[in-house]
Structures are given as structure tokens and as C-alpha cells.
Chains A and B, each alone.
Chain A
């Protein structure tokens, strides 16, 4: 209520200067004021996938800081003309730290950041930074390397299903990391990809899973948001891996593990930096080592030996002795793209648009 009265008094007192609110006078936060943090989501928080994961991160921030922060989120913000307005509104509203959690928000975030120089912006999965804009992303492919090992080991047919959304580099990387790891165990392994051109259509994801299983796939992985493919895996009695969240509830037998997004620690770290006054532009691309992703507990389908192998891969990635994209890597035509003894650099990984041997996409 206090806020409303404030606003009305403000309006009455400064009808002529009403536009100053838009330009955003930056109040120096007093000690008692909570740090306001805004989140912009591309989907509904109830998608049980990407946006759901980010919202868990937001809740982690609230749990950690309590009254010291006040978080706000806007759901279902379309990538397009609406994004800039929402981000600007959050900034004008006094949010000092704003997380924009989808690639399509990159240019809008940068535009708003130019005006609100004292607000800190954090853009997920992009690559352009500014003095007050950081980017952050997760090395999901590190999890895929473990998943690929599981797939290669557990698939009897050697055919691994991969339900993919849209061919952005992140998805391509995940497919390749899976294929490379699987073929280390089973050189004949093949990753069969079906694109559904949507991040989110449970029915179609499930249908794609059926299409793959009917063609010999006996291990299911996905880069789409819903648990539908795992449910189909459960019904058909094959194994698979959960995406974004632990999906065990939907596939108690089929899910051998899940790649779980863990945005909470990063969000807490960045909020702390703003509170401490130490926030600086960063280009963060973290993985298993920093806890940006984790693997859900292995199911009974994973033997102790296999679990130990997986843990060894994780440990290798964490200590740097194992690179998921270490050579030799051949592309689909069999040409060597990465020589033995070297590994793909981050720049090449960032824009990856080709498939490794063993991928059928």
C-alpha cells in the first residue's frame, strides 16, 4: 500500500515531470532497502523445464538472502518486441540486478543496459557483454559426456535416441558430446536425432520418442523441456536420461540419471557481488566443476562398475584431465576435424554447427 500512495503523491506532485520515472533516477539504496532483483522468463514457470529451473534459482536466492533481497519475475515474455519493454520496466522499477534467461533477450538486454548504467544485467546463453552486462551459461555438454558413456554402455542395439529442439550450437554440442562419449564405449554406436522444432510440445516430444524406439533405439536422451520422452521410455521398457530437472517421478525405472540445471549458486553469487559492491562484468561458462549442472542419482540400472566409470569421467572433467571434445574427432564425412592431442577451443564450441561421426541428424 505504501508504494501506491508514494506513486500517487509523486504523480500529483510532478505531473509535468512524470517522465523522470522512465528515465530512472537511481536512488542510492539505503541499508534497509532490500536489493531488488528481476528475472525475465521465456516460458511459464510451470513448464517443468528451462524456465522452471531458473525459477528454482530465483527461489534459492530468496531462501539465501531473505529480507535482504526482493525478487520479481515476469513469465512468458516473448523473444521479440516485448522483451525490451519488460526489461526496461524492471530496471525503471528499481531492480538493480536483472537476469534475462533466454538467448533471444541478448540485444534487448544490451539496449536497456545502455540507458540504465547503474543497473547490472545478466544474460543467459548469449555472447555479448557490456560494462554492466555479464553473460553466463552452463557447459551442459559436460553432463552429456557422462550421459553418452551411460548410453554407449547400456544400449544393446547401439542406437541412441536424441530428441532435439532447434539446431542452435548448444543443442548441436550436446548431440556431439553424447555421440563422442558413446562411441568411446561402443565404436558402432549411433545417435539418431529427431528435430521437433519446438522447445516445448509434450505430445510431439513423446511421439518423436516413439518414432525413435520403433526404429531400434533403446536409450533415450533429449534436449527439449518436458518429461514426455522419458514417460514413453518407461512405457516401452527402455532406459533414458532426464533433462533440466530430475524426472524420476515420471519414469522411476527408465530414468538412469538426469542432467539437472543448477542456476541457484550462480544467482546467489551474483546477488552477493552486488550486495558487496564487487559486481564486475563476467563471461561465465561454467560446468560440472563449479556446480552449474549436476547429475541426478544413478538408478539401479547402473551397475557399481558403471557408476564408478561415470564418476571417473566427471572427476576427469572437473580436474581438467578429460576434455569432452578432445581429439581425434571426425565429422560425419569421416574427415578429422580435431587432431589427436588437441581439443576444441571454447570459441569453436560456442558456434558449433557440424556433427561428429556417429550422428544421424
Chain B
């Protein structure tokens, strides 16, 4: 009974406090309970934010990401296993299937031991590359923690990252120093638009395998900011996959450790803050966009009647109005979506290629959403067009709206009538004079008929 009550309470809590926009079932895959205790602050933070955290060992037989073909969990947090690989229930294929079914994954790596080849090949599918021997760590002789790694220089001290580009929202910024011990570095493929670096190594960093003595010059794949400490991939279905290079950064002891950079002051780390940001983003508490109502109709001055809204068919050269309502999820509520500076939300009116590409302007705002809208004239080309809003930015879920409408030609009675064109009057007059002449002729003819007959008879 009490259990039941507790469950109900939990549900209730989850309901009011369901922070993620996509569910609260979180599975943590970790080796054993001793390990579990060293991350206790993280767990309690997560549970405090409403997650329903369950733990499984990768070797466990019970571990299954799917139940009856559906996802059994909404999110997955994988800590690096001590043994080789993640076992038969967490093959790369399973994990990809999980992603394809909109599950989010936070994968933590560690520089302490070599990463398993299964994980490496999984990352390869997402075009995220590990170092050749999978056991390098990032070393920086300028930004290390003098307290804990005075010798090895493998605990990095970094500022939290600012926004990636001026037109991209920053989700991981803030004051304070992060401590990142023994980072397994990742490099990103150069042409995938789906992956983005969250936290990059400083320019002075390089990857080094402590087991080898001196790295051969040609083995160095990347240095400096080409090395990523945290990288993220957002699949086309907006499922998120984050790779964190240093699992230790999430441990209790680093959440509030005091560190000291060379030549700096002693400070406390903001790892806990950063962990919150990172898990919040990965598990879709931030950076989630929602499209509300989409309206399009003929541009009119007054209100639009319901049956005129979102018509299936337009005519060429119609003036058309389009609006889209956008909200963004911020930890526990939907707020109006604001465009970053230097970015634009665009509408395309497309048939094979865009005939119009217009910036949508924010016109009104509700409590939870912003309405962007624009007006334009449909092109002089009939066909099947679509209104498309294709807004894909790093760290924001993909918005791809496509609404097909038909643009038809002028109907037979929509051309100007002849009498409306002044040039046609001449010919209208001509036609009617012919008809008038005809009628007059007929009358005269009939009138003269008997006479003619008589004359003929007389002839």
C-alpha cells in the first residue's frame, strides 16, 4: 500500500516536475554499485529534476532497451564499462535503433582505460572518431590543475564554452571553471551537419597515450581545438547523442573540488552546473522547439473565417499570408522562441526549387509562443507548391514543416471581361453593329417581301 502510494506520489511529482519534454524514464548503464555511489550527487540531481532513474549492469540479462518493439526507456546514460564492450544487449545496432526511435543517449568515456571497439565503431557511424589506439588522453601544459595533476597535466581546467557561432544559441555557457580529468578526446568528421562540438580542448592541448613513450609524428591526428572533450550529435529525428570525454568530471568529488590553474587562484569547480546543462540538453530539457499553429490564407484586412483558413488551393498571383507559432522548452515550461541575433527564420514557397524565400518576422507573442509571419504574392506559375519552414540549427531540434498546396491557373471567369478592357469596346461595337444591322435588314427584308413577290409574279 505504501509502495503504491509512493508510486502515485512519484507519478504526481513526475507530472508536476516532468522536466524533460520527451519523457522521464532514464536508464543508467554502469558496472557495479560501488561505481554508482561515486556519482550519487548526479543521480540525486537527476531524480530531483524528475527523472525516473533505473540502473543496470551491461552484463545483466535483464537489460533491454526495447520492450514489445517499443522503447523501454526515454533516455540512456552509459558510463564506460570496465570490461571490454557493452555486452550482447547493447550492441551498436541496439543503440542506433534506440536513437532512431527518438531515444536520447549520453555516452561517457574515460581516458583511464582503452575504449572498447564496439563503442568506437558506434561513434564511427555518427562520424565521431576516437584516437587510433582508443586510449589517448588530452594533455595540456598550460591549463591543468596544479592540485591534482601537477605531474601528469591530465586534469584540464577550462571555462565553460560560449556559443558556437554568433547565430547559435548558447546552452552551456556561464561563469566558473570546469575540471576535466583524463579526457578521451574525439575528433569530428568534417562534413556531417548533424554533429557539433560542445566543449573543445584549448589550443595548447594535444592527445597523448600515456602507455606509449613518444608519439610518432605521423600518428598525431589532431591537436588543439580540433580535439573535442564533449561533442554532440543530433540525428534527423532530433534524437540526441552526446559524448562526454571524461566520466570522472561527473563524479561527486569533482563536483565541488577546489582546483588551481598554473599561475591562478584556487577556485571551486562548476562541474555540477555543467553536468546539469549537459544532461538537460541531452535529455531534451533545453533546446527543444515546438511548432504550434501554422496558418496560411489569402491576405485580407479583417478576420479570416474558419473555412478560409489553410485552404488546399490557391490561385496564381494571390496575395497570401503565412504564420507559424514557435515555442521553446526551457527546463520545465514552454516559452516563446526567440531567434538568436543574426539568425532568421525563413519561409520557402517551393516547387522543385524555391520561388520565394522570405524572412519570417515575429508579429505577436503569447505566453508560451512567438508567432512569426509574412505576406507574399504567389508566383505566376501553377503547380503543387509547398510552404516550407526548414530551420535546423546546432543544439536546437530540427524544424521541418512542409505543407503542400496547389496553385491553380486563372479560372475561365477570372480573366477580365472584354467590356472591362477599353481596347475591346471597338470590337464589341463592331459585333453589335453587325447584329443590329442584321436585325434591321431582316425587318426591311420582310417588309419588302410581298412587293418583291408581286414583281416577280408580274414578271
A and B bind? no
Interface residues of B (CB under 8 A from A): none
Interface residues of A (CB under 8 A from B): none
